[in-house]
Amino acid sequence: VTDTLLPPTPYDLAGFTGTIAERLDRTLRVPLGRIIAAAETIRAQADGPLRQDYADYAADIANAGRHLVGLVDDLVDLQTIELPGFTILPQPVDLAEIARRATGMLRMRASSARVQIDGNASEQVVRAMGNARRALQIVVNLIANAVRYSPLDGMIWIRVEREGHFAAIIVGDQGKGIAAVDQARIFNKFERVDPHEAGGSGLGLYIARRLARAMGGDVTVDSAPGQGARFVFTLPRDASDMT
């Protein structure tokens, strides 16, 4: 996998929406999946012992492949949410279960980054109205960002709470924090907390907020430099949760 497959700048990325995103999805997803699977087989030394540096190279290839798959996913989602009349049919979802699933999906990544995750959703049931798949997508993005920006041996807190007529999943970290002037910017397309830092496509928070708002909720941030960040994902509470 070479860097030439990656759009070189956010401005070039803007031209990849529409049918091009669909073509990228169809063209790249299967071969990228095969590359990732082969690289993981080499990394795990499933076919026999291997020099450690070769195993490390294979891990890098697998990670690069996953990065490209994530980019394709973001572009397809971007195309979807910007269609005229895009809506999400609300259904009952358990936000506590969403938090548990997202935490489970990211726990290994956090462990590899020497970051701990602390959650309070083990026994809760917090019913809201939304779409379970999209809610999970949002929370996975928030936790992944928290892992990415956490210091070594840092802690991420995940809380599920009720706030009036809304239910919330709160993801807090001990990262470097976000200045007030940047807190609106990071929800724009192709923006990252630190534009000079290697990371994703700059679409994750934009997509997360658009999805949350399409379900009647929101994604907001409370942060200050040097004090970490606290992202809050809300959805309207289900009527059965109000009694």
Which of 81, 111, 137 terminates a domain? The answer is 81
Same domain flag for 189 and 209: yes
Domain CATH number, residue 191: 3.30.565.10
Same domain flag for 132 and 75: no
137 vs 141: CA distance, rounded Å: 6
Which of 81, 104, 137 terminates a domain? The answer is 81
Same domain flag for 108 and 49: no
Same domain flag for 102 and 204: yes
Residue range 158-203, pLDDT digits in tens: 999 999 999 999 999 999 999 999 999 999 998 877 766 666 678 9
Does residue 86 fall inside a structural domain? no
Same domain flag for 65 and 121: no
| Total domain count, the chain | 2
Same domain flag for 135 and 208: yes
- pTM here? 0.81
Residue range 5-32, pLDDT digits in tens: 334 334 344 444 446 667 777 788 888 9
**What is the full DSSP assignment across the chain?**
--GGGS-SSHHHHGGG-THHHHHHHHHHHHHHHHHHHHHHHHHTTTTS---HHHHHHHHHHHHHHHHHHHHHHHHHHHHHHTSTT-----EEEEHHHHHHHHHHHHHHHHHHTTEEEEES-SS---EEEE-HHHHHHHHHHHHHHHHHHPPTTEEEEEEEEEETTEEEEEEE--SS---GGGTTGGGSTT--SSTTS--S-S-HHHHHHHHHHHTT-EEEEEE-TTS-EEEEEEEEBPGGG--
Q: Which domain holds residue 98?
A: 91-241
Same domain flag for 194 and 110: yes
pLDDT of residue 72: 84
Residue range 45-82, pLDDT digits in tens: 888 888 898 888 888 898 888 888 888 888 888 888 88
Which of 81, 115, 138 terminates a domain? The answer is 81
Averaged confidence pLDDT in the chain: 86
Does residue 11 fall inside a structural domain? yes
Angle in degrees, CA 105, 211, 16, rounded to 5: 90
Same domain flag for 127 and 63: no
Q: Is the dihedral of CA 175, 178, 184, 188 positive or negative?
A: negative
